[in-house]
Amino acid sequence: MKRFIGNVILAAIFVQYNSFTILAQDIVTSEEITFGSSVFILRSANKTQKKFAPQVTKVSKQNSTNRIRESVAYAKTPRKSEDALQNKRGNMNAQEQKASKEKASQDIAIAAQTFLEKGDFTTAIDYFLQATTLDPNNEEAKRGLSRAYTVKANHLLESKRYEEAISLYNQAISYDNQNAAAYVGLGESFEALGRKEEALSNYEKALSINPKLEDLYVPIASLYLEKGEVAKADRFISKASTKNSADTQYLRGLIYYKMDRYPDALAAFNETIKLDPNKAEAYYYQAETLDRLNQSDQALEAYRKAVQLKPDFLEAWFDLGVALYNRGDYQMAVDAYKKAIQLKPDYAEAYLNLANTFRKLKKYEEANSNYVLASNFIKNNADLYSEWGFCLAAVGKWNSAIEKLNLAVSMSPDAIDYANLGWVYYNSAQENLRNGQNEPARSKLA
């Protein structure tokens, strides 16, 4: 009893004088606990649940970079007529006997260009190599060989053979270090391998060679955003074409969101949805932005649309659960959290939020089961053990409740935790007395 009285007095002093704000929903009355006496103060009952920390969702850049690679790779000097090429090929053997190696190199390079234009890049590479062997100073042959290597590398890139593509792009650059298309391909390959710094470096190199490659502004802005360099991302996206593109508008929205420019972000996400009504990520970030603008009803509908379009959208299911919980729709929140857990069975925060939601529904056994699962992943969280202790007490598991509340005190020894510990010791002792267990009762009240 001394311990209980001392703890309650201590709690009262701290609550009164040390800035604890105890709201009505924090206090659980004795009617809510079987055989309970006094009150239990829930540490976080007045708090809203936290949402999933939004991560930058990757922006599709394939169309932009494909257009660049295709347009730049085939850039060449004005071609000669097919008749002229046929005459040169027909007379090549005779000419080779008379002409210098330089002249032969030029003719072979012309033939190589023809093969390249017909899509036979393997033969084109062989011919260009012959041309450069005959005349190492044939710059046009070198540029042609660089283009041919780039085209072959593009095919490897499309087949997701990234390391092989990188090797060929580097060969292309060794013959022409101004080959912008090769740098673009390198950027794509490195990005696909998760080597973001190298991707960014090569995209920027391509843009420095050819400032007209405006389609590169989007992938560059996206990579800066992923790095957290939002100001640079904003600078590049502001240069991007203003033509209607769902990906560009979406990226603008992400950048504005990260800059806390929520009205601008919302406008961009709204425009994204107009251009691509099936883009689940746009609805998700629309919901996130609406939530920041305190438009919770509209946010809820946007979350629902996101999971409708993409049923395996983990973040959207979790944040839908949070939105439902925070508006008091606890049963629907349970359903959303269960879906998140189905998608990610080790999702600790989802287990914890689900446990707290069951507690709100007074389904204490279900709450306890989920606190067990959450505790497998979350350590040193006083709120978890305090709320778990309450739910254990609610079903009469007093000794287990004492254990959990002692853990809460060890993690956060404040007035609320001490008061709750006194509460559970007292009520556990009362149950012992009712059951004739006098010795355990005396030890708890001592």
| pLDDT tens-digit readout, 96-105 | 444 577 888 8
Across the strands, what pairs with 28?
Answer: 40
On the question of pLDDT at 309 being above 60, the answer is: yes
| Between residues 50 and 154, the one the model is more confident about | 154
Q: What is the pLDDT of residue 438?
A: 63
CA–CA gap between residue 99 and residue 19 (Å, rounded): 96
CA–CA gap between residue 92 and residue 84 (Å, rounded): 12
Mean pLDDT score, 127-152: 91
Report phi then psi at 173, rounded to 5: -70, -30
The alpha carbons of the chain give a radius of gyration, in whole angstroms, of 34
Cβ neighbours of 260 (radius 10 Å): 10
The 10s digit of each residue's pLDDT in 339-374 is 999 999 999 999 999 999 999 999 999 999 999 999
| Common-topology check for domains 1-43+314-446 and 242-310 | yes
CA–CA gap between residue 344 and residue 415 (Å, rounded): 37
| Residue 37 banded pLDDT, cuts 50, 70, 90 | very low
Question: Under CATH, which number does the domain 242-310 receive?
Answer: 1.25.40.10
Which amino acid belongs to residue 356?
N
Tokens of 199: 């991707």
CA dihedral sign of residues 276, 281, 282, 287: positive
The 10s digit of each residue's pLDDT in 249-304 is 999 999 999 999 999 999 999 999 999 999 999 999 999 999 999 999 999 999 99
| Between residues 191 and 31, the one the model is more confident about | 191
**pLDDT, averaged across the chain:** 82
Please report, for the chain, the start and end positions of each structural domain, with discontinuous segments joined by +: 1-43+314-446, 242-310
Q: In this structure, are residues 115 and 145 in contact, taking their beta carbons and an 8 Å threshold?
A: no
Q: Which helix (H) or strand (E) holds 40?
A: strand 40-41
Mean pLDDT score, 111-132: 88
CA–CA gap between residue 124 and residue 108 (Å, rounded): 10
Q: In this structure, are residues 201 and 218 in contact, taking their beta carbons and an 8 Å threshold?
A: no
CA–CA gap between residue 341 and residue 354 (Å, rounded): 9
CA–CA gap between residue 169 and residue 149 (Å, rounded): 7
What SS3 class is residue 27? strand
Cβ neighbours of 137 (radius 10 Å): 9
CA–CA gap between residue 42 and residue 52 (Å, rounded): 23
CATH class of 1-43+314-446: mainly alpha
Please tell me what DSSP assigns to residue 175: H
